Copies of this chain bind each other. A is one copy, B any other.
Amino acid sequence: MALSDIRGGERNEAAIAEALGRFSARFGANFQTGAAIRGQHAHTTTYIPAQLPDGVLFAESADDVKAAVAICAALKVPVIPFGTGSSLEGQVNAPSGGISIDFSRMNRVIAVNAEDLDCTVEPGITREELNTYLRDTGLFFPIDPGANASIGGMTSTRASGTNAVRYGTMKDNVLAVTAVTANGEEIRTARRARKSSAGYDLTRLFVGAEGTLGVLTSVTLRLQGIPAVIAGGVCGFPTLKDASDAVIMTIQLGIPVARIELLNTLQVAACNAYSGLSLAEQPTLFVEFHGNEESVRLQSEEFGAIAAECGGGEFRWTADAAERAKLWKARHDAYWAAKALRPGHAVLATDVCVPISRLADCVAETEADIEAHGLVAPIVGHAGDGNFHVSLLFDDKDPEGVATAEAFVARLNGRALAMDGTCTGEHGIGQGKQGFLPGELGGAVTLMAAIKHALDPDGIFNPGKIFSTP
């Protein structure tokens, strides 16, 4: 799908005008239509051009959301939920106009059940806000996609990140959601029990639905005990294959590694330059272990032995918080480090995921592709999951630059699908990956569309996302 296709979408001007009036009357100053605010609620962190909503509601309660959905359902006007705007595939754009619901004021912690290791929050709370709130309880919410995203947004894109290899993705850590559906009713997908076989798994259906089936009003999350000891380390390898072999052995031996991140040579060089590291410029694994003193020591020793067997250099590990923080800050700043390689260029941040046995091949072939096309695009991967990101630097003002970027993404996705992988491990489909979904899942997409139509017959929930047509 070319970006020009994404720009489409029909607007119902009369209905939108009517909706703006009703929102102003109902919500007063909590509903804004200024161009600056609307611009902040269209897409900014991706290469995908912004498509502004017609108005932004700063929702303060589930009742606000119910009222908003009722107005939009009556008028068949689009509703686009907005967390922090850090999604990467155009999820908050408004191709057919409509109302953006901003959740930044719905950021309360509703309940923490420490004994059950769970909590219920409003969708607008960010993961950092939540972990600050939780600190005194000895618990934390582990999922860390890098950006300080909102829990609602992370739920809706089925986010994961660096420590999914140990703690799973949002699908594994959301116990239940409440959501306002097309008929204006607020439903709850599950009780607070750890597991259930009671009917269809609606929780998992809303996780990753990108706001296309309803609007979340709360999320119940699993929590983890804060590890007594966190230790990290770094290890370089002669080749991507060697580093990947170390990852596969680590996973296969059941070492409960908390993070295991693969940086390719260019990404290491970028991090050295941007974050003041002095790593040898070669394929490198960043590793982290969670546990107590004894278990962390044990894991580190086991990993060190594996790394050595796979040709790795010295595995230096430390439980020193400051040293560890510097390393992981550099990892989290990989996007900015990449961006600094070509000032003035845009970054196309894209992800695919393959079975881990194919990770080395997929990364190596992508490196060769990058070189063959004279591109600049460092690679960093959540290696334990077979998921990797390419940060392609391109000139977004130049149509040829855009076309080059799109062609690269198409080849990358074709490669991942040919290896039985997916076109997105954690960013979602949004607008940017729609062209690859049928190739990945074929007739299953027809089932998805049937579900979308059954639950949102008028197509008001985030239209133009996941599916190109409602």
Report A's interface with B, CB cutoff 8 A: 113-118, 157-160, 164, 168-169, 171-172, 181, 185-202, 204-205, 207-209, 224-225, 227, 248, 251-254, 256, 291, 294-295, 298, 353-357, 385-387, 416-417, 420-429, 433, 436-437, 440-448, 450-455, 466
Contact = CB atoms under 8 A, between A and B. Distances in A.
8 contacts: A115-B252, A171-B195, A185-B443, A188-B441, A193-B420, A195-B426, A197-B427, A254-B291
A448 B417 contact: no
Contacts of A181: 443, 447
Contacts of A157: 197
A227 B200 contact: no
Contact of A113 (B193, B204, B357, B440): B357
A426 B197 contact: yes
A152 to B, nearest CB: 15
A256 B256 contact: yes
Given A225-B253, A355-B118, A357-B115, A190 B451 contact: no
A426 B202 CA distance: 16
Lowest 5 A-B CB distances belong to which pairs?
A: A204-B204, A454-B454, A115-B357, A196-B422, A193-B353
A190 B241 CA distance: 26
Contact of A353 (B195, B207, B428, B437): B195
B197 A164 contact: no
A95 to B, nearest CB: 18
Nearest to A224: B254
A168 B294 CA distance: 25
A438 B285 CA distance: 50
Contact of A200 (B209, B252, B387): B209
B199 A201 contact: no
Given A224-B254, A454-B451, A422 B201 contact: no
Nearest to A385: B194
Contacts of A159: 197
Contact of A195 (B160, B188, B253): B160
A443 B189 CA distance: 9
Contacts of A164: 195
Given A115-B357, A455-B450, A207 B201 contact: yes
Contacts of A445: 199
Given A115-B356, A171-B201, A429-B199, A188 B252 contact: no
Contacts of A171: 195, 201, 204
A188 B295 contact: no
A422 B191 contact: yes
A200 B192 contact: no
Contacts of A294: 298
B353 A199 contact: no
Nearest to A226: B254
A293 to B, nearest CB: 11
Given A225-B254, A425-B193, A440-B191, A201 B158 contact: yes
Contacts of A254: 224-225, 227, 291
A417 B190 CA distance: 11
A252 B224 CA distance: 7
A234 B453 CA distance: 53
Given A171-B201, A202-B444, A254-B224, A194 B356 contact: yes
Contact of A172 (B172, B355, B421): B172
B116 A196 contact: no
A116 B355 contact: yes
A236 B35 CA distance: 68
A409 to B, nearest CB: 14
A193 B450 contact: no
Nearest to A169: B195
A224 to B, nearest CB: 7
Contact of A199 (B197, B198, B355, B441): B441
B354 A193 contact: yes
Nearest to A158: B197
A92 B160 CA distance: 37
A428 B197 contact: yes
A49 B262 CA distance: 57
Given A171-B201, A200-B451, A424-B198, A187 B444 contact: yes
